[in-house]
Amino acid sequence: MGIIRKENHSSDQEELTPWQKEHLRYLKEHEKEQEKAAENSSEVDPISEAQSDSEKEVENKEEVTLTDTVEESQKPHVSFADRLPKLKKYRNKLLHKRLLILILIFAVPLVMVLYYVSPLSHLAAVNVSGNTHLSAEKVVQTAGLETGENLWQQFFNRKAAVQKLKKEVPRVKEAKIQFSSLNTFKLSLTEYQEVALLVDGKKYLPILEDGTIIRQSQSKADQGKIILENFSDQKKILATLKQYHQLSKALQSSVSQIEATPRADNDELLTLFMNDGNQVIVNISKLAEQLSYYPQVAKEMDEKGIVDMEVGIFAHPYEKKTAQSEETEESSE
């Protein structure tokens, strides 16, 4: 096929066949496309740039993956034979743990049964402390504690034992039961103090600090304890003792005996017998307040007599007895 040139005469073009004309048109369009491609080659294509960046990232990832693969290949290879001792050790540890659990499950009930039938589960002794006027045997017996019986049953019932002891033994102020050894109790007591004595004929009955009268008579009066007479009401005893203990030590030592001498119009009247020979008539509720004036009143008295503090303060000597009345009293005695 000959080359068709542009310089050919128009007459020559008219002689071209339809196929040649189409081919010539294609060549012209191809030339135009090449020129446009040359012009756009200097401009940056963002799509192609993004594609190039993604290609770079892929290449970097491939390099990192390759590096990791190389590092893993450089690590020492651990075979199953090397891991086997660790696996055996873990299995043995797990087996020992399960064996220990089984031993505890069966051993604990066995130990409890052996303890229950052994002497250690029974009360061996009770040691009593703090008892001054009470015998240890009576305290233990009253509390209901029994040696040789179940230890824990009595320990868990210790509060009831203490309440029973305080109820039946008036001297007991506080009590506490606790362990002193594996199968021994310690019973600690606190007793009410004896603060006064009550005249009972020719004997005396102890009076505790809570006003309780102990029906255990004694023939002699203890020094340092105030003597009460003709008292039967515990409240009046407590009220009198409360007032008495508010006095100074000097005034307390000057009183030898206090007698309840109520009247129909005044049921809290007292007669105090003083060591100097005088008598003082005073109300229970005013004892501490009015008796503080007694030392001054006693100094102003010329004779021994009676100081009446029931209403105000009045002092007068004892009535003198006639000789005939004295003879009558002596003969009657």
Query: Could you give the C-alpha distances from 183 to 68, 110, 152, 154, in angstroms and in order?
Result: 72, 20, 9, 11
Quick one: pLDDT at residue 55? Answer: 55
Phi, psi of 305 (to 5 degrees): -170, -150
Q: Are 126 and 184 in contact (CB under 8 A)?
A: yes
Cβ atoms within 10 Å of 138's Cβ, excluding its own: 14
Quick one: pLDDT at residue 61? Answer: 53
Domains of the chain as residue ranges with CATH: 120-191 (3.10.20.310), 194-319 (3.40.50.10960)
Q: Are 259 and 289 in contact (CB under 8 A)?
A: no
Task: Pick the closest to residue 244 from 220, 261, 236, 223 (CA basis).
Answer: 236
Quick one: pLDDT at residue 46? Answer: 47
Quick one: pLDDT at residue 321? Answer: 56
Quick one: pLDDT at residue 124? Answer: 93
Query: Could you give the C-alpha distances from 201 to 135, 257, 297, in angstroms and in order?
Result: 27, 15, 33
* Residues shown for the chain: 333
For the CA atoms of 25, 28, 33, 35, the dihedral, rounded to the nearest 10 degrees, stands at -170
Query: For residue 33, what are its two tokens?
Result: 């496309």
Each residue's pLDDT, cut to its tens digit, for the chain (333 residues) gives 444 444 444 444 456 677 677 777 777 777 777 777 776 655 545 444 445 555 555 555 555 454 555 455 555 554 545 566 777 777 888 888 888 888 888 778 877 777 777 888 899 999 999 999 999 999 999 999 999 999 999 999 999 999 999 999 999 999 999 999 889 999 999 999 999 999 999 999 999 999 999 999 999 988 889 999 999 889 999 999 999 999 999 999 999 999 999 999 999 999 999 999 999 999 999 999 999 999 999 999 989 999 999 988 999 999 875 444 444 444 444
Query: For residue 297, what are its two tokens?
Result: 């009143």
HSE-up (13 A, CA, CB side) for residue 316? 5
**Ranges of H-type helices in the chain:** 10-14, 18-40, 46-74, 80-117, 136-143, 151-156, 158-168, 234-244, 249-254, 287-291, 294-300, 323-332
Task: Pick the closest to residue 121 from 155, 171, 96 (CA basis).
Answer: 155
Query: Could you give the C-alpha distances from 98 to 86, 89, 106, 115, in angstroms and in order?
Result: 19, 14, 13, 26
Quick one: pLDDT at residue 240? Answer: 95
Quick one: pLDDT at residue 287? Answer: 95
